[in-house]
Amino acid sequence: MTTSQNRYYQKDILIVDDTLDNLRFLDTILTKKGYSVRKALDGTMALTACKNLLPDLILLDIMMPEMDGYNVCRLLKANQATSKVPVIFLSAIDDILDKIKAFEVGGVDYITKPFQAEEVLIRVENQLALKAAEQKILSLNIELERKVKERTLQLEIANQDLKRELWERKQLEEKLLYRALHDPLTNLANRTLLMERLDEALKLTKIESNYHFAVLFLDCDRFKVINDSLGHLIGDELLIAIGNRLQNLMKDTDILARLGGDEFAIFLDKIADISYVKLVADKILKAISAPFQLSRTEVFITASIGIVFSNSNYNKPQELLRDADTAMYKAKSQGKSRYCVFTYSMYQKALKLLQLENDLNRAIELQEFIVYYQPIVSLTTGKISGFEALVRWQHPTHGLVSPAEFIPVAEETGLIAAIDTWVLQTACRQLRNWQEQKVIGEEISISVNLSVKLFSHPNLLETINRAWCDIQLNPQNLKLEITESAIMEDIQATAVILQQLRESKIELSIDDFGTGYSSLSYLHRLPVNILKIDQYFIRNLEQNPKNIALISTIINLAHTSELRAIAEGIKNPVQLKKLRNLGCDFGQGYFFSKPLAAKSVVDLLASTPQW
Ligand code: C2E
Ligand code: MG
Ligand code: MG
């Protein structure tokens, strides 16, 4: 056995016995076995020995003077420091061993005298092994408890982390959801949120017959002017302020949404009847028309509102918005700053418009358009000086459709570019054709109407130039007509394009002059050649001296600006005479001729008319 093993095995055993022989015997066999042995002759010594160094095991004689073994054991067990040391009682064979008592006071075993070495060693070893095992269990338990505590703490921390992470994720989700459903500028609901709410409301109308709601479509009047003149920052500030004002008029169950730009929509829930909705609309109009005090300026604005009242025929939220939008446009056309309630006739009209739109698309593909030509007569010579090309639509079922009906729709849908380009090419080709056939002289011109919507078209100039170039028409034979109201929409931009056209030697006419509410002062700034006096002024020329004065002013104005004047819509010889007297340069109207198909023009020219 090595020293280290020895040390490892050297358990400390305290033997307590008043008989020296016993002490010696036990000491011998235990020391021999490798134990460290201490000896005490009585209880008091034993207790002191324990206090000095806690033994691993005590062999305790029962019968001792002064304090017997039972008492010593009781004291040892009562003391927390010594209570865990196993005690084996020693008793002589003739002693009356009270085994029960021995165990009761805390003994773990007993050995009877005379001692047998093997028995002593086995019992000692047993108890020490038991003690070691107990200690092992104890330390394992402590370790286990420590580990459980440590693990619990880790779990608690992990749990906290998880909770925080969940909370953060929930916050983020809420933020994202909020962003997805709200307008970033005004913080109001956006179109998606409104549509969701409308969808729910529509479902309810199918279940509950007396449930009603309303949608208000609000569009600011002249907002573009504010944005363009005061800048987008002020525009944004105004939109936020409008949003706030509207929000103050809403109930908790209502929804105010910004649809984009200067458009808002309002969902009024649980409406008893339309009169309440009208009341709200009135309040909104009033609230908006009060001045807005913004950070740098005061702004006045009005709004137009379209109202749609729910009914069970609606299936999709889009249908509600579409109809409220239609009603809003009606309110605008009636003079703005008002509301208009959507009606069935508006629906029918919209439907008809939609049909027209579809038909128009197809008409371009199938080339259902034809060009008519109306002569323009020189009032000095009385002879035809040119023609105006006027488009017609040969509709397969509706017959000849007037441009007044389809041009506005074509403008709105963008189809106008294709139509105007086609008319331009057709009219130029026709004129060249007549020139080649010597039906007309080289001085006869063709006037083509051009929608202002084309002015934003990137290849406008190229298209126009190609039209006369390809056909080898002299650009001086081509005149373009642009309506006065169209010019007024964006006078700056129009002027630039008109200037470029003029450089190609193409003459320019202002069509429907006098109806555009324009200030006459802009005239000299525009590179135009001809004013076409609107037929409105010619219509009652004979009876209305005021109109005569007005026409006279326009003609004089034209002449002082080095422009020529054309009177539109001349219907009788009296009108013709008056206009001649006023010095009007040209005339156009049913009195001379209605717009004609190309081959009828040839017949007309063959008769060499003169008025
Ligand atoms: P506009 O350019 O002012 O053309 C004159 C309109 O007055 C023509 O109507 C013509 O038929 C009509 N008119 C001429 N003389 C008389 C008359 O004595 N009495 C009456 N009551 N009417 C007369 P139309 O052809 O129906 O064209 C209407 C408008 O449609 C045109 O007015 C023009 O602004 C537009 N338009 C016609 N063709 C085209 C086109 O190819 N492109 C574009 N963008 N617009 C066109
Ligand atoms: Mg015209
Ligand atoms: Mg006109």
pLDDT digits (tens, 9 = 90+) for 181-217: 999 999 999 999 999 999 999 999 999 989 999 999 9
In whole angstroms, give the CA distance from residue 294 to residue 334. 29
Helix axes of 274-289 and 232-248: crossing angle, nearest 10 degrees: 140
pLDDT digits (tens, 9 = 90+) for 417-443: 999 999 999 999 999 999 999 999 999
Helix or strand holding residue 399 (H, E): strand 399-401
Say if ligand 1 is within 6 A of residue 587 CB.
Answer: no
Compute the distance from residue 449 Cα to the ligand 3 centre, in Å.
Answer: 9
Q: How much is the pLDDT for 467?
A: 85
Residue, of 488 and 318, whose pLDDT is higher: 318
pTM of this structure: 0.60
* Band (555; pLDDT cuts 50, 70, 90): very high
Return phi, psi of residue 259, to 5°: -90, -15
Helices (H) and strands (E) in the chain, counts: 21, 21
Say if ligand 1 is within 6 A of residue 69 CB.
Answer: no
Compute the distance from residue 269 Cα to the ligand 1 centre, in Å.
Answer: 48
Does residue 57 come out as left (phi exceeding 0), alpha (psi in the -120 to 50 range) or beta? beta
Those residues whose C-beta lies under 8 Å from the C-beta of residue 463, and which sit 6 or more positions away, are 421, 424, 457
Pick from 373, 407, 446 the residue to mutate for probing ligand 1's pocket: most ligand atoms within 8 Å of its CB: 407
Compute the distance from residue 330 Cα to the ligand 2 centre, in Å.
Answer: 27
Mean pLDDT of the region 234-245 = 96
Q: How much is the pLDDT for 290?
A: 96
Instruction: Residue 321: name the closest of 192, 227, 514, 169 by CA.
Output: 192
Q: What is the number of the ligand closest to the CA of 417?
A: 1
Say if ligand 1 is within 6 A of residue 22 CB.
Answer: no
Compute the distance from residue 558 Cα to the ligand 3 centre, in Å.
Answer: 16
Compute the distance from residue 402 Cα to the ligand 1 centre, in Å.
Answer: 9
Say if ligand 1 is within 6 A of residue 484 CB.
Answer: no
Residue 46 in tokens = 């034993």
Those residues whose C-beta lies under 8 Å from the C-beta of residue 407, and which sit 6 or more positions away, are 391, 416, 419, 451
